[in-house]
Amino acid sequence: MLVVHGGWVPGSGLIVWAEDPGLPLTTSSRARSRPHPFATADLPDLPGAVAGSVQLMLPGTGRGPLPSPETGLESSARGAKLGAWTVPVLTVPGDRALEALAEPDLTDQWVAGSSLRYLRLLAGYACDLARRGRMLPQLVIEGGVPAARWRPVLTGGDTASFRDFAAGMPPAVRAAGEGQPLGRTVRDALEWLLDSAARAVLPDRLMVGQRPGPKAALPDRWLSALTGDPALPGAPEGDVRDLRRALDDWMRAANEAHGPIRVSFRLIEPAPETDEWAMEFALQSAEDPALYLPAEDLWAGARFPGLPQRPDETLLAGLGRAVRLFPLLHVALLEQRPAVMTLSTAEAYEFLRQAAPLLQAAGFGVQLPAWAGRKAVGLKMTTRTKSKGSSGRAAADSGFGLEQLVDFRLDLVIGDSLVSAEELAELARLKVPMVRVRGQWVELDDRQLKAALKAVGQRREGEITAGELLQRVVEGGDEDLPLVEVDADGDLGDLLSGQAAERLSPMPTPAGFQGALRPYQERGLSWLTFLGRLGLGGILADDMGLGKTAQTLSLLLTDEGAKTLLICPMSLVSNWFKEAARFAPGLRVYVHHGGTRLRGEEFDEAVAGADLVITTYGTALRDLATLREVTWSRVVCDEAQAIKNSGTRQSQAVRAIPARTRVALTGTPVENHLAELWSIMDFCNPGLLGPAKRFRRRFQEPIESRQDEDATAALKRATGPFVLRRLKTDKTIISDLPEKNEMKVWCSLTPEQATLYQAVVEDMMAEIESSEGIQRRGNVLAAMMKLKQVCNHPAHLLKDGSRLPGRSGKLARLEELADEIIEDGDKALIFTQYAEWGTLLQPYLAAHTDRPVLWLHGGLSKARRDELVERFQTSAEPMLFLLSLKAAGTGLNLTAANHVVHFDRWWNPAVEDQATDRAFRIGQSRDVQVRKFICTGTLEEKIDAMIERKKALASSVVGTGEEWITDLSTDQLRELFALDPGAVR
């Protein structure tokens, strides 16, 4: 299987290349630019592609380049550096790139790498912009020849989306040559993709009649070229200059409204029994839309903070610019003090459909009725079971199954009201774009009406199996006629409501379970049993620490004779083995992992005698052929985010293991993109959400690109029955978990640290300024790492084995805190992201406190890790546990600690929260004190402030790690890295 990657080269277009994991990973060449040893010329066919080769800057070692994660190959990144590697590629011109990126995955032959998936998302964003009209026509010069092109207009939320795309671009996308500037790369790619998308959504031509000839006026030729051949050879230079100037003014005007104060338009629907609409004008703060001043109040003298000295001129100037986008406004401008204008229903519809999107794209504020833009016509499904039972009893007692026949009926809905076939036909005959149906205004789309009329003639009621009905609900109708409501009774109603855990009677703690399940855990057990009996899988997405392990083990005890395969990260194997022995000692457990694991007949015998087989993701990949031969009743994936990338060999291997039911355990079903939810759902219920491409078009692109409410509701309805999510901060779920108190600990630099810090800034800024592309990105990351090391301790940066005391503000504060913790008889977890710093710190803290300081890092064996965890959890002696963030940030239960210290920050809130939850989880009886060390006046303080300002984006931008910082400009980096006065103590 090939892993296919994508890249973009401004001026050339899309490049596609592939890795073949079956080829050797090493090379004997020592040339400056070496052939990539496992890049293959056997590439998928793409429209418009030309074969060739390019030089890519990729990470690697002297032995060869590092394989991408999608290959499933393991390799050490120790000592990896960027190097030049020559790879065979297909080059697709920019005007054919959209077509090429739309090609489906040949899943039995190749999978898309992260760079290609990124470009496909960018292509979807371009198509979305084109569909919403977020573009303007321009005249550009290409190779000395004028050409008609469409260009994006990025305003409002689209600006934030563009920034997210820039921040999230995988380095491989711009790896060609020495690497391309990020801003130029993403802008160039978006412009080409949008131009193609615009030509696809527009009619064959914008002009009526034949296309103008080469001697026609340039404006006519240009207008025709917007949907035809874009080149305009032979155009007079003066005409080109004049037209370009006018079009540039148009583009500039589209962005003129982007000041702190903007003009806003509010459409007000008619009062009952009238058809008179109102359009209210106002001034509004662009940063805080709640600061809103109607024009009527403005003329009366009202003001809000931040208004210019002459707000009346701002209003009139804005209305003057808006006339070009909504010509009917000229009527309002005839008044001396325009405040409100009256519209007919036809004019209101014109505003909704045409002017409102253009005004929003140009940066004006637009407020529409809540129903505007929603699909007015939809389907309501009503279903009733043939033999009703009490849905309040325990799921295990119910006789309901997916093969049971149920009665169903489909009704047409407009707005919130059912409509008959006769009423629908009358609405279609009237051909009105907006109509009031039972007191509620709705927009009527021709395509929707045609789809609804077609549905009238199809089968709308009868009998169907519950399984077929479930599939229809998940499919959610079609794009023109969506399923908007489901009314079901009994167990099917419980399932489709997405509230089965609350509706079903909690199951009592199984007899073989040592302990007592909490009420919410009993509801979780009931839900898991309910799904399992139907042959359905589910995602138990309870917050970390709420006892997913206990609920899963209790599920196994209720299903006597069932054989379960549990797949988890290597670090959790011992935890599962011990928890099974603790909570369910009656279960027969076999651990299939390690070099001494059983094979052949011995494996078969071990599995035959086990109720629970525990293995790791890596072992599941390596032993897939063996595991597939076993008849599993259930496959459980713990930390299921390990299979969030559907294209990896590991994820594909896990999904290939057959089982009657499947369960995914994860506290983070979606970390970055909705595609991760699809991947985990496809493991739990294969095929239920359809193919990935359909999911991307139907849900992912509308929700991620434009926050589509209809798509969000449809996705929630489709996945809700199969996802159970509870938060430990919800006191209705768990009321006896203690508090978590988070605080920032501000530390000063010593004079030595300040001197080193300044020297690193000056040295690294010189390197950053003289580099470009991926090399610059690497230099920024290197600078950031060195500065963080300085903040930790001079010896951490210098690596000279010098003494530790008295040279670091952070270390001095940690010494004081450690003394307090030990004196109080407590225990603490201390996280650092640097293993070399932990190695220096551990013996020093042990000598300073005269107490044990344990040290857990990635280089320890599994047995040694288990030994350290056991000692920390069971010893009554106060002590400190020093941990590597990457090696111990997930999977461990360390509730003996009631203090957590983040000595150096990873700047990823999700990673830090996961590490904190090693102590803040069920079993913790004391309040947990969480301290995050920050050096004042340094990049640590400034990045912390940036995260605080951008909390809404923290999960998508900061959540990708630290690489988002590399995309800042040189001036921004200089400001970020600069040492502020007062940073030294």
Give the span between the Cα atoms of 536 and 543, in whole angstroms.
Answer: 22
Highest mean pLDDT among 681-695, 938-952, 968-982: 681-695
Identify whether residues 444 and 539 lie together within a single domain. Answer: no
Q: What is the pLDDT of residues 917-971, one digit of tens each?
A: 888 776 777 888 888 998 888 988 888 876 665 443 333 323 334 555 666 667 7
Identify whether residues 516 and 530 lie together within a single domain. Answer: yes
Q: What is the pLDDT of residues 266-277, one digit of tens each?
A: 999 998 878 889
Higher pLDDT, 618 or 422: 618
> How high is the pLDDT of residue 158?
76
What dihedral angle (degrees, nearest 10) is formed by the CA atoms of 472, 477, 482, 486?
-20
For residues 904-908, give the mean pLDDT: 77
Max Cα distance, the chain (Å): 93
538 belongs to a structural domain? yes
3-class secondary structure, 27: coil
126 belongs to a structural domain? yes
Q: What is the pLDDT of residues 375-426, one digit of tens each?
A: 667 778 888 876 544 443 333 344 556 777 888 887 777 777 787 777 777 7
Residue 827 contacts residue 881 (beta carbons within 8 Å): yes
Identify whether residues 510 and 438 lie together within a single domain. Answer: no
Confidence band of 216 (pLDDT split at 50, 70, 90) = confident
For residues 683-698, give the mean pLDDT: 86
CATH number at residue 580: 3.40.50.10810
Q: Is 51 exposed, middle or buried (0-12, 13-18, 19+ CB in 10 A)?
A: exposed
Q: Is the pLDDT of residue 888 over 90?
A: no
Q: What is the pLDDT of residues 136-150, one digit of tens each?
A: 889 999 888 999 999
Identify whether residues 614 and 642 lie together within a single domain. Answer: yes
One-letter amino acid for residue 506 of the chain? P
Q: Is the pLDDT of residue 184 over 50?
A: yes
- What is the DSSP-derived secondary structure letter of residue 482? B
For residues 443-451, give the mean pLDDT: 74
Identify whether residues 347 and 457 lie together within a single domain. Answer: no
- Reference 497, options 689, 724, 721; nearest CA is 721
Between 147-151, 201-205, 613-617, 965-969, the lowest mean confidence (pLDDT) is in 201-205
pTM of the model: 0.55
What dihedral angle (degrees, nearest 10) is formed by the CA atoms of 687, 688, 693, 694?
140
* Domain edge (last residue) among 301, 335, 367: 367
- Domain containing residue 335: 261-367
Q: What is the pLDDT of residues 320-330, one digit of tens each?
A: 888 888 889 99
* H/E stretch holding 219: helix 218-225
| Number of domains within the chain | 5
Confidence band of 589 (pLDDT split at 50, 70, 90) = very high
Identify whether residues 919 and 813 lie together within a single domain. Answer: yes
Q: What is the pLDDT of residues 25-73, one digit of tens each?
A: 676 666 666 888 888 887 777 878 889 998 888 888 777 888 887 776 6
Between 7-11, 356-360, 680-684, the lowest mean confidence (pLDDT) is in 356-360
Q: Is the pLDDT of residue 109 over 70?
A: no
- Reference 973, options 753, 765, 782; nearest CA is 765
209 belongs to a structural domain? no
Identify whether residues 362 and 450 lie together within a single domain. Answer: no
- Reference 696, options 715, 683, 680, 710; nearest CA is 715
Confidence band of 129 (pLDDT split at 50, 70, 90) = confident
Q: What is the 3-state secondary structure (H, E, C) of 344-410?
A: CHHHHHHHHHHHHHHHHHCCCEEECCCCCCCCCEEEEEEEEECCCCCCCCCHHHCCCCCCCEEEEEE
Q: Is the pLDDT of residue 606 over 80?
A: yes
Cβ neighbours of residue 676 under 8 Å, at least 6 residues apart?
641, 644, 645, 669, 670
Identify whether residues 598 and 696 lie together within a single domain. Answer: yes
- Reference 361, options 311, 313, 330, 326; nearest CA is 326
Identify whether residues 679 and 546 lie together within a single domain. Answer: yes
> How high is the pLDDT of residue 278?
94
571 belongs to a structural domain? yes
* Domain edge (last residue) among 333, 367, 401: 367
Confidence band of 885 (pLDDT split at 50, 70, 90) = confident
Confidence band of 598 (pLDDT split at 50, 70, 90) = very high
* Domain edge (last residue) among 472, 497, 522: 497
> How high is the pLDDT of residue 498?
66
> How high is the pLDDT of residue 952?
37
Identify whether residues 396 and 412 lie together within a single domain. Answer: yes
- Reference 509, options 530, 524, 531, 491; nearest CA is 524
Residue 888 contacts residue 804 (beta carbons within 8 Å): no
Identify whether residues 595 and 614 lie together within a single domain. Answer: yes
343 belongs to a structural domain? yes
Give the span between the Cα atoms of 917 and 938, in whole angstroms.
Answer: 28
β-bridge partners, 479: none
CATH number at residue 947: 3.40.50.300
Q: What is the pLDDT of residues 62-100, one digit of tens each?
A: 778 888 877 766 665 566 778 888 999 999 999 999 988
701 belongs to a structural domain? yes
Give the span between the Cα atoms of 781 and 802, in whole angstroms.
Answer: 25
Provide, rounded to the nearest whole percent, the portion of the chain with pLDDT above 90.
Answer: 26
254 belongs to a structural domain? no
pLDDT averaged over the chain?
A: 82
240 belongs to a structural domain? no
Highest mean pLDDT among 297-306, 379-388, 890-899: 297-306
Identify whether residues 682 and 749 lie together within a single domain. Answer: no
Q: Could you count the other beta carbons within 10 Å of the beta carbon of residue 730?
A: 12
Say what angle helices 751-769 and 970-977 make with each other, to 10 degrees.
170
Q: Is the pLDDT of residue 561 over 70?
A: yes
